[in-house]
A and B are shown apart, each in its own frame.
Chain A
Amino acid sequence: MSYYDIDAILTDSQKLPCTFELEVPGLGILEGNPGENIKAGTRIDLPLWLGEMLSIGARLGTSRLVTLDLPSALSERVMNALKADPRTVELRSLAPHFYSLSERILELFEEEEMVEVLSNTFKKRSAAIADHAHNPQGALGQGADFLRGLDETERQLFRVAHDSAKETRIWAGEAKKK
């Protein structure tokens, strides 16, 4: 993770489901009960940075405080939808930083198949992004729905593809500056 990268910071605050394995005194504030204890078996959504920290014990094999689950954005249902047709899934509504979140999750969970599904998704959608970006009316018309569903990484990809195409057209005298 990069210290000054705003997207990395925002990714850090995306939530994932955590289940408490032990009763923790005084931590009730996490589920909106300040001063109370949090009971073993409680399931709440915590930001990635906090969940990751609390689960460290689990990964060291000592007493686990919480166990982590896959966030809903990366659930089996989503993976199946992506396998069926990567282009029709609105990644942005699942998680604004969908791929950055996946990258962090894949560090925590060993999910070989998810790597395959996500790589394939990213490639297929990138190809569509290139087609839209190359079309001067890219963001309009039928493309609009697809573009609305792009996550942050994909939006940046669309921007560089669009800008590069435009700069080249300006050089070739086919488009005006600004």
Chain B
Amino acid sequence: MDIDDILAAVDRPDASTPESAALDHQLLTRFWVAERGVSELLPWPAALMERMMDRVRNQITQIEDLAASSTDPMSASTTTNAATTNLTLSILQTDLSRTQYLIRSLLRQRLSKLTAHSMHYLLLISRQSQQPHPSSQSQSQDSQHQQQPEDSIPAPPHPHEPTSPLSKEEVSFLHAHQTLLAGHYGASFLGSFPPQLRRLDDNAGGVSMVQGPEEKEVVFVRCLGEEVRVVVPPGDGVERETLGTTMRMGDVWAVRWEGVRGAWGRGEVEVL
């Protein structure tokens, strides 16, 4: 075991302390900026979001309790007290709405990435699941005849299968969204096409209908680790990852997202 791992086990903050609230707030903020900055959907931070939502619920209760006590004539004894309570209330409310803004913006950005590349993400999560998905491959003449746009949508993974980078809720949203969309396409124009032209995942003519996000897009990052190498992922016949330029602590760089995705996952760079 690495000394760092031992320290990590000791230093791991207790989720109930005020300091851990500050850390989670920083993590959420950093994640939001990254999600806003990169082309692809980032892995859903489930544990962080659960802790955040717990705290938001507590905060709402606290505000409600305080508001109730301030209008209670028995406890609001002096006017100075009431003024302080109002100030505290407005601070708590501002703090709450700032956090809610972060969460809402994060979710909306994610939904917009999901709907922009819906088939890509549906195929991505269905490929991770073990079940063979019924669509696309070898279909009988008979079902060819009944072919509808909805048939190109892969089945969602079973409840216990991994869905990364999507959350469970996002999986069910995306599946329902794409089914509705395919049904709408079918009813409004694809239905009048020959059955073999109704699919939404066609490859004919060398152009795939399924489009993923551009991973070569440039992002702006700050190097947080001592030294980070930009990488070139395998491809074009080169079978392994190769190393590129070196970033040093505190540097800000414009680089391809695919070149720093690994370093981002390790917390060695942050997206700006």
Q: A residues within 8 Å of B by Cβ?
A: 1-4
**Which residues does chain B contribute within 8 Å of A2, judged by CB atoms?**
207, 211
B211 surroundings in chain A (CB, below 8 A): 2-4
Kindly name the residue among B207, B208, B209, B211 whose own CB sees the greatest number of chain A CB atoms within 10 A. B207
Point out the residues of chain A lying under 8 angstroms from B207, CB to CB. 1-3
Q: Complex formed: what's the CA distance from A4 to B115 in Å?
A: 14
Return B208 CB to nearest CB of chain A, in Å.
7
SS class, residues of chain B in contact with chain A: loop
Give the residue among A1, A2, A3 with the most B Cβ atoms within 10 A. A3
Residue of A whose beta carbon sits closest to that of B203: A3
Mask: chain B, 179-215; 1 = CB below 8 Å from A; 0 = not: 0000000000000000000000000000111010000
Complex CA–CA separation, A3 to B207 (angstroms): 6
In the complex, what residues of A have CB within 8 A of residue B209's CB? 3
A4 to B209, CA, bound (A): 8
* Chain B proximity of A157: nearest CB distance (Å): 14
Q: Please, could you name 8 A-B residue pairs with CB atoms under 8 Å apart, sorted by A?
A: A1-B207, A2-B207, A2-B211, A3-B207, A3-B208, A3-B209, A3-B211, A4-B211
Please give, as numbers and ranges, the residues of chain B lying within 8 Å of A4 by CB-CB distance: 211
Complex CA distance for A2 and B120, rounded to whole angstroms: 13
Within 202-249 of B, Cβ neighbours of A (below 8 Å) are at 207-209, 211
Closest to B208 in A: A3
A3 to B205, CA, bound (A): 11
Not counting A2-B207, A3-B209, a sample of 6 additional A-B residue pairs whose C-beta atoms are within 8 angstroms of each other reads A1-B207, A2-B211, A3-B207, A3-B208, A3-B211, A4-B211
* Measured CA separation A131–B207 after assembly (Å): 38
Contacts of B208 in A (CB 8 A): 3
In the complex, what residue of chain A is closest to B206 when comparing beta carbons? A1
Q: How far is the CA of A2 from the CA of B208 in the complex (A)?
A: 8
- Which residue of chain A has its CB nearest to the CB of B202? A3
How far apart sit A114 and B211, CA to CA, in the bound complex (Å)? 29
Q: How long is the Cα–Cα vector from A102 to B132 in the complex, in angstroms?
A: 42
Q: In the assembly, what is the distance between CA of A3 and CA of B201, in Å?
A: 11
In the complex, chain B residues whose CB is within 8 Å of the CB of A1: 207
What is the chain B residue whose CB lies nearest that of A8?
A: B207
Q: How far is the CA of A3 from the CA of B203 in the complex (A)?
A: 10
Q: How far is the CA of A55 from the CA of B240 in the complex (A)?
A: 33
**Cα–Cα, bound, A3→B202 (Å):** 10
CB-nearest residue of chain B to A5: B211
Shortest distance from the beta carbon of B179 to any chain A beta carbon, whole Å? 19
> Could you tell me the distance in whole angstroms from the C-beta of A122 to the nearest C-beta in chain B?
15
Determine the distance from Cα of A2 to Cα of B209 in the docked complex, in whole angstroms.
8
Q: How far is the CB of B200 from chain A (nearest CB, A)?
A: 10
Tell me the smallest distance from the CB of B37 to a CB of chain A, in Å.
15
Expressed in whole angstroms, the Cα–Cα distance for A3 and B212 within the complex equals: 11
**Which residues on B sit within 8 Å (CB–CB) of A3?**
207-209, 211
Determine how close the nearest CB of chain B comes to the CB of A2; give it in whole angstroms: 6
Q: Given the complex of chains A and B, what is the CA–CA distance between A178 and B211 in angstroms?
A: 34
Q: How far is the CB of B183 from chain A (nearest CB, A)?
A: 19
- Closest CB of chain B to A175's CB: distance in Å? 23
Q: How far is the CA of A118 from the CA of B208 in the complex (A)?
A: 28
